[in-house]
Amino acid sequence: MNSQQALLQINTREQIEASKTTRVPSGDFVTDILLVTSPTNARSPYMPFYYLYLAGYLEAKGYRVEIADPHERTLKSNIKLILEKVKQTKPRFVGLAAFVTDYNVMVNLAKSIRNVTLAPIIIGNAHPSVTPSDFLYPNSPFDIAVCGEGEATCEEILERYHHHDDLGQIKGLAYLSREDKVVVTPERRFLPGNEWGKPAYHLLDMEFYSRPTKYLIRNLYTRTAVIYTARGCPFKCGFCAANAVWEANSLEGSKLVRNRPMESVMEELALLQNHYKFDFFYILDDTFGLREKDVYDFCDAYKKSGLKMLWGAETRVTCVRKKEVLIAMKNAGCIQLDFGVETGSPTLLKTIDKAIKVENILLGFKNCHEVGMRSFANMLINLPGETTEDLDLTYKLLRKIKPTYTSFGVTQPYPGTPFYKKGGFTFGKEAYHKLDREVPPEEFRMAQHKLPLEITLLQFRLRFQQFGLVEQGLFKGPWRYWTQIFRSARRRQYLWYFIKQQVNVPVIFARMLFRYYKLVRTGESAASIKKHEWQVAAE
Ligand code: B12
Ligand code: SF4
C-alpha cells in the first residue's frame, strides 16, 4: 500500500477535520490539482472555460493538472466517473466550481470526494466569489473558497499551502479560521492579458465539444469553439453578477477591461481550426466591440491570418452604431451578432441599468439588416416593476427590429446581482435550488403585473421565437454558412445533426403549444392572459 492508498483509508470526519487543521497530506501524488466540472452541466456544449484558462496557466507554471469532465446522461453516473478519476489521478488538491443553482449538488459531490481522498478541496467560480461563507462552516467538505479571478491565487495555494495557517498569507481567498470565522484575505491585482494561460484544450474530450450544436452560434448548426479576447465589463446590468465575480478579487475594482494580446488570440484560433478542425468560433467576451479599435484590430489580424472559420460574437447595440464596424466584421467572416436587448420599455431599460436606449436598439438592428448581418436578440421578462404596458412595448419593439432570432428568459434574482440587493431579497442556501428553474416560483416575482410568468414566456416564445414545423431562423443563414458546412471535414456529422433537429423541432413546438393551452385553460390565468392579448393586439 503506498502512502496515497493509506490516506484513502482515513475518512472519518474527525480525521478529515484533523487533517484540515494540521497538515496537507503529502505522498506520491500523480497530479497537483484535479479540477472537477459540475455534473449538472455534463451534456452542455459549452466547455468549462474557467478551467481551460486556469489549467493552461498552472501547466505553464509546471504543475500537473487534470480535468474531470464526464458527459454521461445521469447525475449518478457522472458522479461515479468523477470519483473514479479522483482515485486514479491521486491529486494533491481537488478543485470544484459552483454556480448558485447547483449548490446542493456541489456540496454533496464534495462530501463524496472527501470520502475518497484527504486532498484539500478548493471551490471557485461565481457562487463562492459572491458568498464564500456558503461553503465555509464547521464540518464543511470545502477547505478553501477562491474568490474572483483564480489563476494567481490557485498558483499560490499549490505553491505555499502546507498548513492551515498558511492560508491567511495568500491573497484572493476565504477560509474558516480555527475559531470557525470566515476569513476573507485581501484582494490582488488582475492578471494582465499577456499572462493568461493558453486554454488547455488537450485536457478535455474535444470530440465531445466539437460536435455540431445550435446553442453556440445560436440557431445556426455549427461546430463552434468559444474564445475570449478580453475579460471584464464596465457595466452593471441589474440581472448580472459578472461584476461581483470580478470584483471579489480585484484591487482595481470590477470595471477594468483587460485585453489579451492579439498574437495569442490568433495562435489559439489557428489551433482550433488546424488541429481541432472547428469550422466556426464564437467570441464570448463580456463586451466585445466596446472599443472600436479593438474590433478593427481583431478583424485585420484575423483576415491576415488566412484562417477560414466563420464566427459570431456577443456584443452591445451601442457597439454597432456605425455600419463600418459591421462591414469590417462581416468582411472578416462574422455571420451573427447576439445582443442583450432585454426589453422594449425605456423605463425598464433605465431600471435595469442597461446603459442603452431604445434608439440605440433601433439603430443597431437597422444597421445589421442593411449590412446583411444575422442578429440575435436576448429578451427578459419579470424585470423589476414590469407592467403589461412594458410587455407591450417589448412586443412592439420586436416587431420593428425584426431580429433574425429572438430568445426569451425569465429574470431571476441571483445572489451577487444588483437585483438581489436592491430587490431586498435575503434568501440563502435553503432557497438556491429554486433558482434552477426556467420559471421561478412566485416569491421571485419582480414584475408588478400579475400575469402568470410561464404563460407570458410561452406567449412571447410562440410569437417571436420562430418555432414551427421547420427551424426557420436557420434558413436565414448566409450562403457562406452553407458553403462552410458543405466544405467541412465533418459533413456527415452535420447531416446527422440536421436530420435529428428536423425531427426534434416540430416535437418541441407541439409540446410548447400543448403546455400553453393547458395553462391557459385554468381560470384566473386565462382571464389575465386574454386581457394582455387584447392589449398587445391594440398596438
Ligand atoms: C459563459 C457563461 C455561461 C455558459 C458557460 C459556463 C461555463 N461552462 O463556463 C453557460 C451558458 C453554460 C452558463 C450557464 C449558466 N450560468 Co452562466 N455565465 C457565463 C458568463 C457569461 C461568463 C463566464 C465565463 O466563462 N467567464 C470567463 C472565465 C475565465 O471566468 P470565470 O468563469 O469567472 O472563471 C474564473 C474565476 O471565477 C475562477 N474560477 C472559476 N472556477 C474555479 C474553480 C476553482 C477550483 C478555482 C481555483 C478558480 C475558479 O478562475 C477562473 C479564471 O480566472 C458569466 C458572466 C460573467 N461574465 O462572468 C455567467 C454567470 C457565471 N452565469 C450565471 C448563471 C446563473 C448561470 C446559470 C445558472 C444560468 C441558467 N439558469 O441558465 C447556468 C448554470 C450552468 C451550470 N450549472 O454550470 C451567473 C452566476 C451567478 C451566481 N451567483 O452564481 C453569471 C455570473 C451571470 C449572471 N446571470 O449573473 N453560463
Ligand atoms: S450583462 Fe453583459 S454588459 Fe451587463 S453587466 Fe453583465 S457582462 Fe456586463
Tens of pLDDT, residues 320-375: 999 999 999 999 999 999 999 999 999 999 999 999 999 999 999 999 999 999 99
203 domain-assigned: no
Residue 338 CB–ligand 1 contact under 6 Å: no
CB 91, CB 117: distance < 8 Å: yes
Question: What is the domain range of residue 295?
Answer: 210-528
CATH of the domain at 168: 3.40.50.2300
**How far does the centroid of ligand 1 lie from the alpha carbon of residue 7, in Å?**
33
Do both 356 and 480 map to the same domain?
yes
Residue 248 CB–ligand 1 contact under 6 Å: no
Residue 124 CB–ligand 1 contact under 6 Å: yes
**pTM of this structure:** 0.93
288-333 pLDDT, tens per residue?
A: 989 999 999 999 999 999 999 999 999 999 999 999 999 999 999 9
Of residues 102, 75, 95, the one with CA closest to residue 429: 102
Q: Is the pLDDT of residue 180 over 60?
A: yes
**C-alpha 299, offset from chain centre:** 25
The region of weakest confidence among 250-259, 308-317, 483-492, 516-525 is 516-525
336 domain-assigned: yes
Q: Is the pLDDT of residue 24 over 70?
A: no
**How far does the centroid of ligand 1 lie from the alpha carbon of residue 226, in Å?**
14
How many separate domains does the chain show?
A: 2
Percent of the chain at pLDDT > 70 equals 92
Q: CB burial class (10 A; 0-12, 13-18, 19+) of residue 353?
A: middle
**How many residues are given for the chain?**
539
Do both 264 and 316 map to the same domain?
yes
Residue nearest to atom 7 of ligand 1 (CA): 48
Report the 3 state secondary structure along 133-170.
HHHCCCCCCCCEEECCCCHHHHHHHHHHCCCHHHHHHC
197 domain-assigned: no
Do both 348 and 489 map to the same domain?
yes
In whole angstroms, what is the distance from residue 95 CA to residue 97 CA? Answer: 7
Residue 380 CB–ligand 1 contact under 6 Å: no
Q: Are strands 144-146 and 121-124 parallel, antiparallel or unpaired?
A: parallel
Q: Which ligand is nearest to the CA of 241?
A: 1
Residue with the bigger pLDDT between 484 and 471: it is 484
Residue 41 CB–ligand 1 contact under 6 Å: yes
Of residues 97, 94, 156, the one with CA closest to residue 125: 97
Q: CB burial class (10 A; 0-12, 13-18, 19+) of residue 133?
A: middle
Q: Residues 161, 58, 314, 495: is their CA dihedral positive or negative?
A: negative
Q: Which ligand is nearest to the CA of 47?
A: 1
| pLDDT band at 470; cut points 50, 70, 90 | confident
pLDDT of the residue at 476: 86
Mean pLDDT for the stretch of residues 512-535: 66
Q: 160, 189, 218 — which closes off a domain? A: 189
Residue nearest to atom 2 of ligand 2 (CA): 286
Q: Is the pLDDT of residue 475 over 90?
A: no
Do both 241 and 296 map to the same domain?
yes
pLDDT of the residue at 30: 86
Residue nearest to atom 62 of ligand 1 (CA): 99
Do both 412 and 461 map to the same domain?
yes
Do both 132 and 267 map to the same domain?
no
Do both 155 and 281 map to the same domain?
no
Q: Is the pLDDT of residue 1 over 70?
A: no
535 domain-assigned: no
Residue 91 CB–ligand 1 contact under 6 Å: no
pLDDT of the residue at 15: 43
163 domain-assigned: yes
536 domain-assigned: no
Of ligand 2's listed atoms, the one at least distance from the Cα of 354 is 4
Bridge partners for 224 per DSSP: 280
